[in-house]
Amino acid sequence: MDKNKALEILQNLLKIQSVNDREAEVADYIKLLFDAYPAAQVTEVNYAPGRSNLVITIHGERPGKMLGLAGHMDVVSPGRIAAWRHPPFAGEMDQQNIYGRGASDMKGGLAALICVLLDFLANKRAFAGTIRLFATIGEETGNYGAAQLTQQGFADDLAALIVAEPSQMQVEFTHRGVIDYELNAKGKAAHSATPDSGNNAIDQLFCFYQAVTKLMATKTKIDPILGPLLHNVTQIVGGEQINTIPAQARLYGNIRTTPRYPNRDIMVELQSLVADLNQQPKNQLTLRFHYPERPLPGNPQAPFVQLFKQVASRALGQEVAVVGDGGATDASEFIRAAQKIPVVIFGPGNTSGHQVNEYLTINDYLAAMTIYQQVILHFLR
């Protein structure tokens, strides 16, 4: 695709303020781009008002495998707008870079996938099998767009998946999962001079805190790529005033799981820990999980991973590393439908995502397009 057209598409995506919402506007724009090509099957999957996923399916000349391509349409908040050297939703550009919220994470990757598909359609490139693009909502706040598409069967026939999250032009084959939990303690208020007539909710939290710290310390298996399981209590809220025994207290914890410790096992252990603690007369604890995302297991030697490495190394003129990453992606949901498929996280972009002055180098953007195109043509030969 023409370089200017490719940059214009990314600029237009960056101008849409899809901050944890309004992905339907992004979906509408993408739909418009594919309007000229009846060979592209476009399905909009609505999640909530103003929030729609988009699935674009293109069949090759002959039957074959299905390759999935995924990118999310939401971006995180721009933070303090005055701190940006270029406005966050203007799509400004200079000789080297394009600037804006989502340039790296990940409208750059999404735009690169879109441009590759448009190029396939415009030039009638021959391939066997099916390419399916998933443009998702709500990745940053819980991957619920990918969850919805997976539930509705859109990922059932995948043979491999590329997630275009920014990977600093490295090939990621595995990543951590995440479990966020919320623990509520219900006590009874009382004057602090007569504490026995109340029930201190903060004491209950400490009781849990000690127990959970002990439990997590037993998780000593180390993933060779990702490292140990990580657990942190990240937020505590509670109490009413200094001379009142607190009736309510709440604690939030964040666990970064690895394939060594499947999410389900950890969640079951946490639940039984809380059940045990509730056997003590004063404890009234309730545990809730928020959008747990499973870790992505992977094999660095998988042919798809190696194909990606070869293609990327050739295109970039240097050996590209095969690595793991700490953050969860939409792949955590898509692999529920296709548990054994190889997944590669590869996308243009750097570590400027989620910060002010997010940017993407034009070189990375264009190189990613070349790499996607060649991987698709090889995989669906």
* Distance of closest approach, residue 105 Cβ to Zn ion, in angstroms: 4
Q: Which positions from 163 through 222 interact with Zn ion, judged by CB under 5 A?
A: 165
Nearer to Zn ion by C-beta: 66 or 112?
112
**Minimal distance, residue 73 CB to Zn ion, in Å:** 10
DSSP code for 133: E
Cβ-based nearer residue to Zn ion, 106 or 315: 106
Task: Kindly report whether the peptide bond that precedes residue 369 is cis, defined as omega within 30 degrees of 0.
Answer: no
Q: How far is the CB of 104 from Zn ion (least distance, A)?
A: 8
The 221-260 contact track toward Zn ion, x by CB under 5 A, reads ----------------------------------------
Window of 19-27, 42-50, 104-112, 148-156 that interacts with Zn ion by CB under 5 A: 104-112
Contact call for residue 106 and Zn ion (CB under 5 A): yes
Measured from the CB atom, is 76 or 236 closer to Zn ion? 76
Opening angle at CA 96, ends 99 and 318, nearest 5: 115
Query: Which run of H or E residues covers position 310?
Result: helix 303-316
Tell me how far apart the alpha carbons of residues 256 and 211 are, in angstroms, rounded to a whole number.
18
3-state secondary structure at position 285: strand
Which window, 74-82, 97-105, 184-192, 356-364, contacts Zn ion (CB under 5 A)?
97-105
> Residue 358 interacts with Zn ion (CB under 5 A)?
no
| 138 vs 342 by CB, closer to Zn ion | 138
| Phi then psi dihedrals of residue 114, to 5 deg | -60, -45
| Cα 297 from Cα 320, distance rounded (Å) | 20
Q: Tell me how crowded residue 185 is: count the other CB atoms within 10 A of its CB.
A: 27
Q: Does 105 bind Zn ion (CB under 5 A)?
A: yes
26 binds Zn ion (CB under 5 A): no
Q: Quick one: 104 or 199, whose CB is closer to Zn ion?
A: 104
Q: State how far the alpha carbon of 149 is from the alpha carbons of 89, 268, 336, in Å.
A: 28, 26, 11
CA 353 to chain centre: 13
Query: What are the phi and psi torsion angles at 275 (to 5°)?
Result: -60, -40
Please identify, using beta-carbon distances, which residue of 60 and 142 lies nearer to Zn ion: 142
Within 139-168, the residues that bind Zn ion by CB under 5 A are 165
Q: What's the DSSP call for residue 320?
A: P
Q: Which is nearer to Zn ion, 52 or 167 (CB)?
A: 167
Part in contact with Zn ion (CB under 5 A); list of ranges 98-106, 114-122, 249-257, 368-376: 98-106
**Per the structure block, which two tokens stand in for 79?**
């933070």
Q: How many residues bind Zn ion (CB under 5 A)?
A: 3
Structure tokens at 305: 């991973």
- Using CB positions, name the residue nearest to Zn ion: 105
User: Is residue 293 a contact residue for Zn ion (CB under 5 A)?
Assistant: no
Nearer to Zn ion, 306 or 352 (CB): 352
Residue with tokens 């340039």: 103
- State how far the Cα of 347 lies from the Cα of 320, in Å rounded to an integer: 13
Nearer to Zn ion, 165 or 358 (CB): 165
Q: Which stretch in 105-113, 116-124, 126-134, 280-288 sits in contact with Zn ion by CB under 5 A?
A: 105-113
DSSP 8-state secondary structure symbol assigned to residue 134: E
Class of residue 8 by CB neighbours under 10 A (exposed 0-12, middle 13-18, buried 19+): middle
Give the shortest CB-125-to-Zn ion separation in angstroms: 28
Closest separation in Å from C-beta 106 to Zn ion: 4
Is the link from the previous residue into 106 a cis peptide, with omega within 30 of 0? yes
284 Cα distance to chain centroid: 34
Contact residues: Zn ion, CB under 5 A: 105-106, 165
